[in-house]
Structures are given as structure tokens and as C-alpha cells.
Structure 1
Amino acid sequence: MENSISKRIFYFDGIRAVAILCVVLLHVTGHLGEIMNYDLSTIYSLSGLYTMFANNFFRIGIALFLMLSGALLLGRDWDIKGFFSKRIPRLLKPFLFWALIFSIILILSSYFVSSINFVTKFGALDMINVFVDTLLCRGPGSEVYWFVWMMLGMYLLMPIFNKWINNTDFSKIEYFLIIWAIYIVAVHSLMIPVPEILSFFISPIGFVVLGYYLRYTERKIFNSSIIALIFIAVPSVLMFIYSYCIADTTILFVFHRYSILIMIVAIGVFCIFKSSPILNDPRDDVRKIVSSIAVCSYGMYLIHSPMIMVVRRIVHINFAFDYIIFFIVGFILSWIIIYVLAKMPIIDDYIGVK
């Protein structure tokens, strides 16, 4: 893993590390929100206000992962067969491996610890159903696996967009992104209904193209650390204020992961890593930690939520204590697990290291 780290573009690793951190923090907050069951008597508490912020800001994680895919994979000379033979197994083998592992954990923990009771029947068919439900995002903690199916759809579309990008100019890419941004506003902000399958492909593929564009564009607005900070700060404040103002009618309002304000914050994070000399040239020890997290990020994504789900059945004291425990389990422990397993040459293809 050390050799692969040394060849990486560091600002991409920084973005990837931030992305997985945001995903874990979002899901930690979500798990605690379910436990706390916020109502009007608690929503304006410190934990409630933090939840308003976290449930929106940390949604940039998925957008950042999509943008990184575009920045790394689009605009390159590769054939469809070679692309699929490399990318699809790297996506699906860890998914199937960890889905099987956590299905076994759900079954065993439910069998031996009656208070956990994720599974109530233990016949052969019931156990197969647990695995299938996990794959289809219906099992406990497996809701986050929708990301794998979405990325599979993106990989199927990428050869088309890669061919287009390799034979077009930046003005046409900008035109596409403007039309896509209008679509994002219409569907995910104004809530104009469209068929769900359409949104499943159009919304994320725009972030993929956006990542390619942001990597190579020379426009000053996307190469300034100050503007990037504005892109991060202003939408974040607006989302918090809006959530706070309508909390009495919707309890906890959550912006869609593909909404325009989330998109702007994600652009800001991408651009600040791209343009900031400080973030591009950290100390060697910081660089190694960040790159290690980036290498392990896909495996961390696959294992963090099921691990938190098991722990939350056992531990519940208060918001602050639970948050720390869930974060340690979801981020630090999942990182350590993937990092250690990556040292094993046979299993490293199945755990989700990139």
C-alpha cells in the first residue's frame, strides 16, 4: 500500500479523506437522530442544533466521491472492455465480500445475544434472505449500500461521457453543466417531479462531469482559495438558517444530497484542496495519514454503518458520549480494520482499498 500512496495526487487524497469523514459523520448523526427521536421540546437543544447543521453540511461526501471519479477517470484514453474489467470487480468484489461478512455477523449476533435480535429466524432460507436483503440495502446498517448500485450505474455511463469529453471542448462541457445545474435546481430544490430512474442517473453523472471540469478548468473562480471558502461558508450558513427557521413545522429539515447548495459547498471543498498551497503540501506525517485514509475509504464506507448499527443496540448513554463512540467505531476502527487487512496479499482485493 505504501508504493501506491507515493504515486497518488495528494489533493485528490485530501478530498477523498474529507468525503469519507463527512459520510461517517452524517451517518453517525443519522443513527443518533433515530435514537434521540427529536421533537419540538429537544430540537433547539445543542444536540438538535448540531444535528441541523450536520445533516446538511456532511451530505457533500457523496458529491465529492462522484467528482473524484470524474476527475480521475474522464478525459483518458481507455477502452470499454479494459475499463469494465478493472473497475467493476474493484467495485463489486468488496461489496459482495463485506455484505456476506456482515450478514454472518447479523445472524450470529442475533442468535447469541437476544437483545440484538436483528434476525429472528435461523433456517437456511432465512439466512440467504439476510444476505439478499443486505445486498439490496434492506438489511440493518446496509441502507448505505445504495452507493454501490449508484456507482455501478455511473460506471456503465462513463464510457459514453468519456468518449464525448475526449472529442469536445470546454465550452460544451460548461454548457452541459449549466443545463445540469438547472435540472438540479428544478428537481432537488423546487421539487419538480421526474421519474425516479431518471434522477438516479442524471443527478450523479453531472457531479462526475463536474469533477473532470474542476480538475482541468483554468477559470479563476475555480482556482481561488478565497472564493472556495465563500463557496463553502455561504451555502452552509444558508442551509442552517433555513433548517432552523422551519424546524417548528418539519422538525428536522434535510436538503437533498444533490441540491444546489450541497453542490456549491462540494465545489468549494474540491477547489480549496486544488488551489490551497497549504493543503497541497502538508507535513509528511499528515500526508501519510490522509493518504492512508483515502486508500482505505471505500472499505471504510462499506463497513462503517453496519458496525455502528450493532454498537447502537448495545450502547446508549447520551448524545455526546454516543457520538464519540459511534465515530470511533465508524471512522477510526473501520480505518484500522481496512488498513490491517490491506497488509494481507490474498484478501486485499476484497476489502475495498484503492
Structure 2
Amino acid sequence: MNKSKRIFYFDVLRAIAIIGIVFCHAAIFFLITGVNSSYFPVTAFFDCLRDFSIPIFVMLSGALLLNRDDSLIKFFKKRLSRLLIPFLFWVLVYVAYASVYIWHGFNIKSSIDILLGTSGTLGVTFWFIWMIIICYLGIFAINKVIKFGNERKENFDSIFIKILTGLSLIYILISEFGLFNPYFSRLVYFVSFISYIVIGYFIANNDYVGRKIDSKIIIAVTLVVSIILYSYYIFGFVVPQSTSSNHFVYKGYFNLLILVLSVNIFIFFKYLSKTKFLTNIESNNVGNAITVFSNYSFGLYLCHYLIIYHLKINYTKFFLDQNFLISIPLLVIIVIVISLVILWILDKIPYLNRFSGKS
């Protein structure tokens, strides 16, 4: 996508989402101090930034890719190859690192676990790649249905998306009330994220509220609601539930609170993009930096966990001895800087630039 066609608030959302994910994986390390430590609320606050960051990432995929007419060849070449090539490269890097520093020799079973994103392994974050691949296949299938329907009925796409959005909301509601368990299996869990794909497209491409209410009011309301919801989530649910049960308790992605929080943040930046504030940022150096950061977000996702792991193993005492309000953000900044430098270098080297994940 060239610069003239970019949607800047998508870049902002993507940048915020990847920062939230890095914060989560950095903060997990500090949970070793226990849920009853005085620092636990700080750790929980940073860790749970992931809980709306992942849905926003998925919603952005829906906003960008749903209702597009891609051929099967273009889909696999342009969509899946952009995921798989950098992903497989970084799997090899993780396996090589683990073989030298963790296993002290090659282990095929553990290597497969990294590839599959198995929980408790160095590749734990790679579950997201398999989920996105499943969602991409879902997007391709939905787009083919839309194309088929549009050839036979006018405005079929609009009607079909509204129906899918309604079904997606119902799905999350029945998951919230325990009528269906989206965590029943890994495949069901991955397929469940298609609900956020559809919701993301619907929000990005419809403006029912904006026709009746001033954008400034929508911005203020969504900002306040987002702050209240996240504050309640951390200090009204996560912290008290975790301390009472003596283990870290948080909500999954398929519940009403996380849905409303994620949607509010998405809508906030959608309407903020209509103001001079975000327009001015887009046209200056800060906007250029956000765009570059957004471009490297996928590569950053792929490589950041290995860097966090290495820093945690080698500098445990340094980070734990600091105030967590300082040490967690400091770890995040260090990880992001190192990651971006690595990705920038890869991007400048012929052939290796395909592994940077830059979009």
C-alpha cells in the first residue's frame, strides 16, 4: 500500500497494539514476584494491555482485507507468503538460539513445539501466526461468498456483512455467558477470532453514529469509556480475583468487556483521525515514525519475545531491583529499539529483507 492510500489511524492502532503486546510479554517476567506483592497491580496493568491489543490487530486485518476480490493465486502469494516466509525464518532463529543456549543440542520435538507456538516454549507467541493464517482462510472464504452474492443481488455485501456482524456479536455474548466454550480446542479458538475480523471491517466501514453525533463527543465518550473499562478490568477484576485465588486471573478475548474495550479504542482513533490533531501528526516527523513503526510491527512481533527472553535470563537482577513502574517500560523500550535495529538491518540486505516482516 503506497503512502497516498494509507489509512493513518490504522497505523496508529497497529503501533499501539504491538507496543501493548511487547508490554505484556515484558511484564510476564515480573509476575515471579507473586500476585500478592505490592507490585502486582503495576505488573497486571502492563500485562493485560495484550487483552485489547490482540483483538485490535485482528480487527485491522478484517478492516483491510475483508470484501476484497483476490484470486486464489494472489491470496497465497500476496497474503500467506508475507506471513509464512518471515515466520519460518524466525522459527529457525528461535530453534538455533534454543539449541545453543537452552537445550545444548538440537531437539526435534522441542523445535516442532516452537513452530506450533506451544505454550511454555520459547515459541509461545507463534500461536498468533497460526490463528492469523486460519483467519486469512476465513477472510478468503467470506470474500468468495460476497463475490458470488454480489453477482446475483445488489448490495449483497452490505447485507451479508451486517448479518455476519450480528452473528459475531451473538457468538461473543454466548461465550461470555458460558453457553459455548471457544477454548474447546485450538482450532475452534483460532476460528473464533473471525468474529473480530468481521467486527473490525464493520466498524471501519460504517458511520451510523457519526452522522448524528459530533465527532468530538464520540472521541470524548469513547476515551472516557475506554479508561473506565480498563481501570475496572485491572483494579476491579484482575487484581482482586488474582489475589483472592493466589494466581493470575484474567479474562479471555471472547467476552463483553474485552469486546467493548477493543471496539471503543478502535472507534476513538477512527474519529480522532477526522480531527486536525491527528491530521497534523500524520503530516510531520512523528507521523512518519508511526508509519515506519507500523510497517515493522509484524517483524517486531516475530522477534521481540526472543530478545525479551535473552535480556531476562542475563539481566534478571538488574530489572527486578528497579521500581517496576520504571523497569517494565525500560525493558520494553530496550526490546523495541533492539528489534527495530535488527529488522532495519535485515531490510537493507538483499534476500534477507524478505525476513524482516516489513509491510
User: Does TM-score exceed 0.5, indicating one fold?
Assistant: yes
- In structure 1, the residue matched to 2:229 is 235
What is the DSSP-based 3-state SS (H/G/I as helix, E as strand, rest coil) of the residue aligned with 1:281? helix
Q: Which moved further from structure 2: 268-277 or 171-180? A: 171-180
Percent identity, aligned pairs only? Answer: 27
One-letter amino acid of the structure 2 residue matched with residue 208 of structure 1: I
Give the one of 188, 202, 205 matched to 1:216.
Answer: 205
Q: What are the equivalent positions in structure 2 for 1:143-182 lying under 5 Å apart?
A: 143-165=124-146, 167=150, 168-182=156-170
- Structure 1 residues 270, 94: CA separation in 2 closer, same or farther (over 3 Å shift)? same
Identify unmatched segments of 5+ residues in structure 2: 151-155
Paired with 1:174 and 1:227, the residues of 2 have a C-alpha distance of 24
Give 1:324 deviation, angstroms: 4.1
**What are the superposed Cα offsets for residues 279-334 of structure 1, whole Å, 9 maximum, x if unpaired?**
34305111111011100000100011111112111112325364245313432211
Per-residue deviation, 1:48? 0.9
CA distance in 2, matches of 1:323, 1:305: 14
Q: Given the alignment, which residue of 117, 124, 131 partners 1:137? A: 117
Task: Count residues with an aligned counterpart.
Answer: 334
Letter in 2 for 1:185: L
Q: How far, CA to CA, are the matches of 1:99 and 1:128 in structure 2?
A: 13
Checking the alignment, whether the CA contact within 8 Å between 2:94 and 2:122 is kept in structure 1 is: no
Correspondences of 1:9-28 after superposition (within 5 Å):
9-28=7-26
3-state DSSP of counterpart to 2:344: helix
Once the two structures are TM-superposed, the CA of residue 171 in structure 1 deviates from its matched residue by 4.8
Amino acid of the residue matched to residue 125 of structure 2?
V
Change in Cα spacing, 1:264 to 1:176, as seen in structure 2 (3 Å) is same
Question: C-alpha deviations, 1:103-125, integer Å up to 9, x for none?
Answer: 212223x2xxxxxxx114x2xxx
Alpha-carbon distance between aligned partners in 2 of 1:231 and 1:39, rounded to the nearest angstrom: 27
Note if contact 2:168-2:196 (Cα within 8 Å) is conserved in structure 1: no
Aligned equivalents of 1:255 and 1:187: distance in 2? 12
Deviations 1:146-173 (A, max 9, x none): 0011111111111221234453254543
Check the 8 A contact 1:274/1:280 in 2, yes or no: no
Question: What is the alpha-carbon distance in structure 2 between the residues aligned to residue 350 and residue 310 of structure 1?
Answer: 21
Q: CA deviation digits over 1:158-203, x for unaligned, max 9?
A: 1221234453254543333233222213224647435325632442
**Quick one: distance in 2 between partners of 1:105 and 1:197?**
27
Paired residue secondary structure (2:239): helix
Instruction: Give the AA of the match of 2:287.
Output: R
The DSSP-based 3-state class of the residue aligned with 1:254 is coil
CA–CA separation in structure 1 for the residues paired with 2:190 and 2:304: 25
Is contact 1:23-1:62 (8 Å) kept? yes
CA shift, 1:348, in A, is: 1.4
The residue aligned with 1:316 is: 316
Q: Matched residues in 1 for 2:179 and 2:314: separation?
A: 39
Question: How far apart, CA to CA, are the structure 2 residues paired with 1:184 and 1:140?
Answer: 29
Map of 1:95-110 to 2, 5 A cutoff?
95-108=87-100, 110=101
2:21–2:50 Cα contact (<8 Å) kept: yes
Q: Which residue of 1 aligns with 2:47?
A: 55
Q: Aligned match of 1:339 in 315, 324, 344?
A: 344
Tell me which residue corresponds to 2:240. Answer: 245
* Structure 2 residue corresponding to 1:257, chosen from 248, 253, 260: 253
Q: Which residue of 2 aligns with 1:274?
A: 270
Query: TM (normalized to structure 1)?
Result: 0.85
**Residues 198 and 92 (structure 1 numbering): CA distance in 2 closer, same or farther, change over 3 Å?**
closer
Return the alpha-carbon distance in structure 2 between the equivalents of residues 191 and 31 of structure 1.
34
Contact 2:165 2:202 in 1 (8 A): no
Q: TM-score, length-normalised on structure 2?
A: 0.84
Secondary structure at 1:19's aligned position in 2?
A: helix
In the alignment, the residues of structure 1 paired with residue 327 and residue 90 of structure 2 have an alpha-carbon distance, to the nearest angstrom, of 25
Cα distance between partner residues in 1 of 2:54 and 2:191: 15
CA deviation profile, 1:234-264 (whole Å, cap 9, x unmatched): 3213212122332332233211133321221
Query: What displacement does 1:7 show?
Result: 4.8
Q: Which residue number corresponds to residue 187 of structure 1?
A: 175
Distance in 2 between the 1:12 and 1:280 partners?
Answer: 13
C-alpha change, 1:263 and 1:330, in structure 2 (3 Å) is: farther
Structure 2 letter corresponding to 1:173: I
Q: Cα gap change, 1:175/1:250 in structure 2, threshold over 3 Å: closer, same or farther?
A: farther
2:78 aligned with 1:86: yes
- Counterpart Cα distance in 2 of 1:191 and 1:23: 29
Q: How far is 1:231 from its partner?
A: 4.0
> In 2, distance between residues paired with 1:26 and 1:61?
10
Is there any run of 5+ residues in structure 1 with no aligned partner, and where?
111-117
